[in-house]
Structure 1
Amino acid sequence: MDKDFKMVATTIAGLEGVLADELRKLGAREVKEGVRSVEFRGDKGFLYKANIALRTAIRILKPIKRSKIFDEEDLYEAIQRVKWDRFLDVDGTFAIDAVVNSRNFTTNSHYIALKSKDAIADYFTHKFNKRPNVDLKYPDVKVHVHIHKEWLTISLDSSGQSLHKRGYRSATNIAPINEVLAAGLILLSGYKGDENFIDPMCGSGTILIEAAMIANNIPANINRKHFAFENWKDYDEDLYFIIQDSLLKKIKSSHFKIMGFDKAPSAVKKARQNIINANLEEFIGVHHVNFFNSKKEVFGRTTILFNPPYGERLNIDVKEFYRSIGDTLKHNYSNSTAWLITSDIQALKFVGLRTSRRIPIKNADLDCRFVKYELYEGSKKASKQPSFE
């Protein structure tokens, strides 16, 4: 039986708690939240499971060495001490990804990556008189070098491409929401597939697709064609398919409505194509509808969750736009819970509804708020809800 080892899952700032909860439910041990990351322990099979199933992880790292370093010479020597031929063949390919947060290193991450690359290449040259090649796109082994203060952590990146690249999105609009962020927002809202779900400004359909996968317990990365760990020397294909099959057996069917609206025909077309790519067309309906002219037409409790224009997508009358959001929700969507994310914090006052939650979260470089509105029958009840700043 494989022994447990330490792993690190990276994520978006603000989603650490959601990711930690995902890991515990998946069966991880010794889960510990960090900054944009969560540490945990598991075996080889769990490494495979984490990559396939986690919705809010960006990549899964397997640390192989931790050292105290103070300068570039220490960095070079620490990397040289790793027995790299355990992980990489001399005829193979590799790539380096570096993150630096240390006063001891004034150079940028790119330079650290180059220095690390030289150390690995020299290790093979000294031992075999030959060195592996660098392949930035499809390396056999991807190495993650992280320097925080005086500590160096060298890890193997088991994911390869970022895990937000699910494999279903072939068509996008301007500044589409990141799949990991979309899934994180849905999980933060508490939606589990046991009520209706509407994205009233659905764009290319990412939020709808992530909601449908959550509702039906479909593994987040089941459409991915490749993970970096498939190139590792100790890759166990039989174990991988056992893990994959065990996750597929847990898929269920949600019978509640999942619907998206968009006023742009081109967005509706793109959303429908992405939904087909994800094999979810039987669970999601997308309609050419202007949200501001819409009303709730489904029975029962409903989660409304959307990503309205802001930042680089903002080309609107902010006051009128957000006021229309509030009016439409208040008058046409009672018996619902509405959530929206925005980086325009001041614009929220124009919505005219009291928030019951405000969650700070990052969307790329933008500081955002993910806010909740409880929409009851009648505007008076809605207006009396408490605000938690």
Structure 2
Amino acid sequence: MKILLTTNPGIEDIVEKEVGEKIGASVSSFHNLPGKLITEIDEKEIGKIFSLRSIYHAIKYVTMFEIKTSDEGLSDIYRNLKEIEIEELDNANTFRVTSQRIGEHSFTSIQVQKYAGQAIVEKYGKKVDLENFDVNIICDVIGSKCYIGIQLTRESLHKRFERPFNHPAAIKAPLAYGMLRMADIRDGDTLLDPFCGGGTILIEAAQIWDGKIKILGSDINSRFLKGACENIKAAGVEGYVFLKTADARRLDEYYGREIDKIVTNPPYGVRLGRERNLKELYWSFLNTAYRIMKPDGRMVIINLKATSFRSLILKTKKFKIVHERVVETGGLYPHVFILELI
């Protein structure tokens, strides 16, 4: 069975590793589309898909067909869907169609959904229900190709638990997982997130390593720290994460040279305002982080101000950039830096 997997563009290699480890299957790019991968697994292994931490959705691949990019493309979609057999609809009462459209077309995604939905209603006699659906049919249009699939994940897999507190600039769990994997964390390590916000990175680490590492988190904002406590408790990992109020510009006042790994998502500047304040924060953070990290330590940090942040890293003469990549999250394209001490 062919399964399409979705993730943050930029961490496809993390998905490849996780699928190999947990399912023993290989993955490949889905028509070179960022954040989309395809794998082929035995139907008996489907349950393992839902244990993947690096993906958002899993979609059973049904078929692909060519369409016109003009208005006639809608008729192509309607006609092809009338001919395709979708076995999941046989015992279903309701369905919905969702569509993503990439490229230049004379029609919208809403029109794609309408024409596809009409074909299914006429062929199967099923009712459309956008909320309480039994089957979610994916009808994605990419250039002159239309891909049909059945979404296997009812909700996005990044929703690990009900979060009592939502941080305004939080990254989602799959990206946090990817950053943690980049940190090359080993059993017995001490991990710190000094800009912990709502605790996403800390919770992800606690759920992955299950007591095998020491997990520390801090933030200067007491409201965020309180929210992180609530989220950590809701996730059931309160015994594995240790929090404190701390200024990331003066970490050596709170920690000794005890940190193996730092994985963090610092402010991008929306809350700080002026660019100068942001540079001052990053500069102070990098210098104090150096003083608390072990000689073989590693830092993974995501930052939207890539050019200025890169120059600050080099200016410190304390860290080397061993890897840098661009990822997509929430319509933004920050860089993830992997740093090691010089």
Q: Distance in 1 between matches of 2:133 and 2:242?
A: 39
Q: Distance in 1 between matches of 2:235 and 2:75?
A: 48
2:233 is matched with 276
Local SS of the residue matching 2:283: helix
- Relative distance call for 1:79 and 1:192 in structure 2 (3 A) is farther
- Which TM-score applies when normalising by structure 1? 0.78
Q: CA deviation at 1:176?
A: 1.4
2:249 is matched with 292
Q: CA deviation at 1:310?
A: 0.8
Counterpart of 2:12, as a letter, is E
Q: Identify the match of residue 52 of structure 2 among 40, 43, 54.
A: 54
Deviates more, 1:342-351 or 1:306-315: 306-315
Q: Identify the match of residue 368 of structure 1 among 334, 338, 341.
A: 334
* Count of matched residue pairs: 326
Q: Distance in 2 between matches of 1:327 and 1:206?
A: 25
- Relative distance call for 1:332 and 1:27 in structure 2 (3 A) is closer
Local SS of the residue matching 1:63: strand
Q: Distance in 2 between matches of 1:111 and 1:37?
A: 23
Give the unaligned 5+ runs of structure 2.
Answer: none
Local SS of the residue matching 1:363: coil
Q: Distance in 2 between matches of 1:96 and 1:311?
A: 38
Q: Distance in 2 between matches of 1:194 and 1:69?
A: 55
Aligned-residue RMSD, C-alpha: 2.1
1:347 is matched with 308
2:111 is matched with 111
1:41-80 alignment runs, 5 A limit: 41-51=40-50, 53-70=51-68, 71-80=73-82
Q: CA deviation at 1:120?
A: 1.2
Counterpart of 1:109, as a letter, is S
Q: CA deviation at 1:7?
A: 0.8
Give the unaligned 5+ runs of structure 1.
Answer: 126-130, 217-252, 376-381, 383-389
- Which TM-score applies when normalising by structure 2? 0.88
1:303 is matched with 261
Preserved CA contact (<8 Å) 1:20 1:33: no
1:175-324 alignment runs, 5 A limit: 175-216=169-210, 253-254=211-212, 256-295=213-252, 297=255, 302-310=260-268, 312-316=270-274, 317-324=277-284
Q: Deviations over 1:190-225 (max 9, x none)?
A: 224441110001000000011112223xxxxxxxxx
Preserved CA contact (<8 Å) 1:47 1:60: no
Matched, 1:132 2:101: no
Preserved CA contact (<8 Å) 2:219 2:248: yes
2:164 is matched with 170
